[in-house]
Structure 1
């Protein structure tokens, strides 16, 4: 028995940050090329057919077994390699944003293709790095002679589609021991924050058209109903939790003719709050406001569910390990040309307010002396609240989950903008992407070899759930939009 332990200890020593880094470096070039190809084919939620095929092709070449159409979604898949009692998952994304087409590597706004999409959240880098993490861990495990199952989850539609939420409801993550992910950012850090849960739905009003001058009395304006709904929501804002948010877009105005009483109008509403129960309560209030607007205008209203996500449950046990591995590996190794471009972008396309907003959002220093963050932020003492939302939240309710952030963009870069897109193929972004892959893989290696860590992480998840079982925020019977291949 003593000898068996000695053998295992020796194998564990082979599975350290250096071995992970070496395995990642050996194949980084192929995954950097993948990220650039995905940058050049920006696809919106549930339509990521070409991007998914690029991911699947490289994973099959690496010996991973691929399962397609997870949760009935044609752009959701899982790739698995290895066998054993421990199963690790890496979460990847690859969807883009509408209207953010941008020429790469310049400091002025210039569309690459008029009106086209763009990777304004660097998901081209996100999926490629998570793939690289899975491959690096698989290769390092094989070298060390350690058995484990390594999975990459191709998760569609994070931007406004809640792909992971549908996958979670289908049980895709139920048998994982831990899940790891990352997100492009302007700082290097381990994320120890909850996020806002949300529900998004369309409210579609129907009225009666009429000539707006000759017979307005017989018309019933659906557009009036949308406007009154917004007035009601604005009055509600004073009476909801300060951390909650309600956003909207008028998605149908009923036409462009002011001399017609608009018979059709629609708004899309996104309700956010720190916990799912809070969101459900606020959503019911929003629904009542819509019904009131319909009553006041003698119109009818239909609610069409769009998406929902749970809040993230941080896992301190995994985050501490991830921070140690990040510290051992170090931040991205930016060079002079990387800083020169970031300096120029800061001067020509960003403002002091942008820099302050970055610092406030992520807890970084607003007065950092360099345009690219080449340090690692300390791990916060207590998990905070990040005022955004992610469908990683649903995974975190099911399995212990940890995420890191790496600096793929200059400090002050507002994401979901052309300034993000233009940096998505730069060497600095590639370096940050590879760093993220190493950090995730090295952290996962610790979970594979440390049964006590696995148990601590699972106990913590149970404690943070406070006795609640995971309950999908998706309405019963709802299905993800199914896009057809193009």
Structure 2
């Protein structure tokens, strides 16, 4: 349609600045809640593009929102820009080569994610101005998706309460509507306190917090036999109580990540883990405090939006890659295991080929077998009809959270995927504004699903504040 072509031309007209933004953010990787420079770059670009800017959303210094347009429905585009620890890597090199030993890196492609979402918002802003159509477009710059649950805190603060539709995407191996599946997740610290003593001279006077933490691990491992097969429990030891074996450890701290397919099941599993921690404390005559760090809900799908997005993505087609793009993708593939590559094809329910980059659209009704993680977009999906797409910014089979993703984060192929998915997101936003029946169907579908799930209650307790220092101690 002419309107859509006009919109896509707006994307092409604006793409160079947003590609440059993506590359700058790639070069300043910042982890959970420390994204000061990345947020500043996004904020400056929003102001340059003429958005009305609101900073410190939900009291989070690195969360920002830009709005443009007047009246009408609100279309929200969600972007991210946080990196991951320990994944520093040079760009365009198909071998491990850190820029900084032990440094951070964009191992999930959020430098591309945020910039493409903003590109879609910028194009829609210009399209609204050119057509005179009522409606508002928003870009939400969201930090700390990697474990910090910023969007859950933003939802709890009402940041999305008047949005009509929310749209996002994620770097991936394929061109597809993202399956609306994720695990609800709580991250909680268990802090054990005991009594120090001389481990040889007076061990009977000590009460070991480290023993309690280890017993908790034993208990959780036995629990795995009696929890749903699609639930997940992982942990990281944050404090062992010291390095002197001749001192009974008076303190210890462990962080658990507790996941399940839906919010109710996850909350039940959290309570079981809490009871295990209390049992470990009882056995060792120590005390334990449970502190929730962050929590996210599972994603709620939206059939009408997914069908509409599929139509836009089929109309656009996947990014057009050239021989240079394919050549580098083959180099990356050579660093992957056959299981990595097979797993990617298995996720979309299709037999493997030798293609290094995806040049097709995955059918909406494909018999997918997706690997399921957790995302704070889940909480947005409970309060706003939400849809996500995937775009092939990485060689097929590249595992997320790897140095290979960082190496591909500034390639021409990644830029092409970023621009193409911005067109898909903007195209869907325009379709929702142009078709009141689509918006009504999306809202009705959303209301039905949320009601069937028992309604939304934030998994983040009211007293828990955004863990702004979770990456710095």
Which bracket does the TM-score occupy, shorter chain normalised?
Answer: over 0.9
User: Superposition pairs for residues 366-377 of structure 1, below 5 Å?
Assistant: 367-377=352-362
Alignment partner, residue 15 of structure 1 = 3
Tell me by how many angstroms 1:28 deviates: 0.6
Alignment partner, residue 101 of structure 1 = 88
Alignment partner, residue 252 of structure 2 = 265
Alignment partner, residue 462 of structure 2 = 476
In structure 2, C-alpha distance between the alignment counterparts of 1:56 and 1:466, rounded to whole Å: 36
Q: Which deviates further from its counterpart, 336-345 or 474-483?
A: 474-483
Alignment partner, residue 108 of structure 2 = 121
Q: Is the 8 A contact 1:205 1:226 kept in 2?
A: yes
In structure 2, C-alpha distance between the alignment counterparts of 1:73 and 1:214, rounded to whole Å: 50
Provide, for residues 224-269 of structure 1, a one-character-per-residue CA deviation record: whole Å limited to 9, x for no partner: 1111111101111111111111111111111222232222111100
Provide, for residues 205-224 of structure 1, a one-character-per-residue CA deviation record: whole Å limited to 9, x for no partner: 11122333333222221111
In structure 2, C-alpha distance between the alignment counterparts of 1:365 and 1:336, rounded to whole Å: 24
Q: Is the 8 A contact 2:349 2:368 kept in 1?
A: no
Alignment partner, residue 173 of structure 2 = 186
In structure 1, C-alpha distance between the alignment counterparts of 2:250 and 2:94, rounded to whole Å: 45
Tell me by how many angstroms 1:368 deviates: 2.5
Alignment partner, residue 307 of structure 1 = 294
In structure 1, C-alpha distance between the alignment counterparts of 2:411 and 2:440, rounded to whole Å: 40
Alignment partner, residue 415 of structure 1 = 400
In structure 2, C-alpha distance between the alignment counterparts of 1:15 and 1:75, rounded to whole Å: 35
Q: Decide whether aligned partners of structure 1 residues 383 and 397 sit closer, same or farther in structure 2, where only a CA change above 3 A counts.
A: farther
Q: Which deviates further from its counterpart, 459-468 or 302-311?
A: 459-468
Q: Is the 8 A contact 2:294 2:467 kept in 1?
A: no
Q: Is the 8 A contact 1:182 1:403 kept in 2?
A: yes
In structure 2, C-alpha distance between the alignment counterparts of 1:356 and 1:343, rounded to whole Å: 15
Unaligned runs of 5+ in 2: none
In structure 1, C-alpha distance between the alignment counterparts of 2:98 and 2:2, rounded to whole Å: 48
User: Superposition pairs for residues 158-197 of structure 1, below 5 Å?
Assistant: 158-197=145-184
Q: Is the 8 A contact 1:192 1:384 kept in 2?
A: no
In structure 2, C-alpha distance between the alignment counterparts of 1:153 and 1:366, rounded to whole Å: 37
Question: CA RMSD of the aligned region, Å?
Answer: 1.7
Alignment partner, residue 457 of structure 1 = 442
Q: Is the 8 A contact 1:181 1:440 kept in 2?
A: yes
User: Superposition pairs for residues 373-392 of structure 1, below 5 Å?
Assistant: 373-380=358-365, 386-392=371-377
Aligned length: 470
Provide, for residues 139-189 of structure 1, a one-character-per-residue CA deviation record: whole Å limited to 9, x for no partner: 122223322100001111100100100110111111111110000011111
Q: Which deviates further from its counterpart, 408-417 or 383-392?
A: 383-392
In structure 2, C-alpha distance between the alignment counterparts of 1:440 and 1:380, rounded to whole Å: 20
Q: Is the 8 A contact 1:79 1:151 kept in 2?
A: yes
Alignment partner, residue 414 of structure 2 = 429
In structure 1, C-alpha distance between the alignment counterparts of 2:445 and 2:409, rounded to whole Å: 36
Alignment partner, residue 327 of structure 1 = 314
In structure 1, C-alpha distance between the alignment counterparts of 2:180 and 2:425, rounded to whole Å: 17
Tell me by how many angstroms 1:81 deviates: 0.4
1:87 aligns with 2:36: no
In structure 2, C-alpha distance between the alignment counterparts of 1:442 and 1:20, rounded to whole Å: 7
Provide the secondary structure at the position in 2 that maps to 1:82.
strand
Q: Is the 8 A contact 1:192 1:316 kept in 2?
A: no
In structure 2, C-alpha distance between the alignment counterparts of 1:464 and 1:386, rounded to whole Å: 22
Q: Is the 8 A contact 1:78 1:154 kept in 2?
A: yes
Tell me by how many angstroms 1:14 deviates: 3.9
In structure 2, C-alpha distance between the alignment counterparts of 1:466 and 1:430, rounded to whole Å: 40
Q: Is the 8 A contact 1:68 1:78 kept in 2?
A: yes
Q: Is the 8 A contact 2:349 2:367 kept in 1?
A: no
Q: Is the 8 A contact 1:97 1:120 kept in 2?
A: yes
Segments ≥4 residues shifted beyond 3 Å: 381-386
In structure 2, C-alpha distance between the alignment counterparts of 1:295 and 1:359, rounded to whole Å: 48
In structure 2, C-alpha distance between the alignment counterparts of 1:358 and 1:382, rounded to whole Å: 13
Q: Is the 8 A contact 2:188 2:294 kept in 1?
A: yes
Provide the secondary structure at the position in 1 that maps to 2:389.
strand
Q: Is the 8 A contact 1:193 1:386 kept in 2?
A: no
* Match of residue 41, structure 1, among 12, 23, 28: 28
